[in-house]
Amino acid sequence: MDAELPRVVLTTTASVDGRISLGRSQRLMDDRVGRRWGTMAVPGAFTDRHEQLGARAILEGSGSLVDVDAPAPEWPVPTPPDSALLRDHPPVATGSERWYVIADGRGRVDWKFTEMDGVRLLLLVCEATPTGYLQRLVDLGVGYFVAGRDRVDLREGLRKLRANLGLELVVADSGGTINATLLREGLVDVLDVVTLPGLIGGLGAPTIMDGPELGEDESPILLELLDVATNRGVVRTRYRVLS
């Protein structure tokens, strides 16, 4: 792994058939969806693994917060020139903060909070992100890092998180698209999967790893099993990512 990058542990919770949500437009943060998903869960079974890992940053994509096909709001034209916004705006940090890091290159989330339970909001954006959205982040006092041109470059974003905030460990707990990008770009050190005793099905339901199909010259990502634990029908498997 690149010494300039933080260690990345990809955590996910899935049904036995690998689904991580009930459907393409059914976000688990929606209370009604969450209740249905929760019928598979076992109270207290591996629910504290983020605390066990001790990471100061959780990485997610905007798809965890808005519908997958939702367009970006029409942000007002900002008053500063674009060049003033299309540069990093690092947050003021002391080194002990916890961060909720969201990759949102299209500016789709209209934020209503900047901190939750002591965890501060931080964005990864790109050069193509609407400047009105960046102005909104500045107005809210939310820091952001510009990584990539047309879309968020997760490798560059992770590198900036380590260089600017000293983050040595990042937990990625996102959807199948970002999971696929992280894994295929060789950015994940450990895959941590909690499998719930239930089946969902559905061709469009998000899975642990979505994204484009493998090309004819591409091979599966290989894993090495680290350990397996069970708790009343729930199974936790941890793998080292080899390639």
Average pLDDT over residues 80-107: 90
Q: Of all helices (H) and strands (E), which one includes residue 49?
A: helix 49-53
Average pLDDT over residues 224-233: 97
Q: Is the pLDDT of residue 79 over 90?
A: no
What tens digit of pLDDT does each residue of 20-58 get? 999 988 888 889 999 999 999 999 999 889 889 999 999
Residue-level pLDDT at 64: 82
CB-side neighbour CA atoms (13 Å) of 93: 23
- Write b or e for each residue in 184-205: b if 16 or more Cβ atoms lie within 10 A of its Cβ, otherwise e: eeebbbbbbbbbbeeebeeeeb
Contacts for 1 with CB less than 8 Å, ≥ 6 apart = 7, 186, 189
Q: Is the pLDDT of residue 69 over 70?
A: yes
Domains and CATH numbers, the chain: 1-55+167-243 (3.40.430.10), 57-166 (3.40.430.10)
Q: Which of 25, 23, 47, 71 is nearest to 173 (CA)?
A: 47
Distance, in Å, from the CA atom of 145 to the CA atom of 224, rounded to the nearest integer, reads: 33
Distance, in Å, from the CA atom of 177 to the CA atom of 53, rounded to the nearest integer, reads: 23
Find tokens 């260089």 and name the residue.
163
DSSP state for residue 51 in the 8-state scheme: H
157 within 8 A of 146, measured Cβ to Cβ: no
Distance, in Å, from the CA atom of 209 to the CA atom of 175, rounded to the nearest integer, reads: 8
Contacts for 118 with CB less than 8 Å, ≥ 6 apart = 98
162 by DSSP, 3-state: which?
helix
Residue-level pLDDT at 1: 58
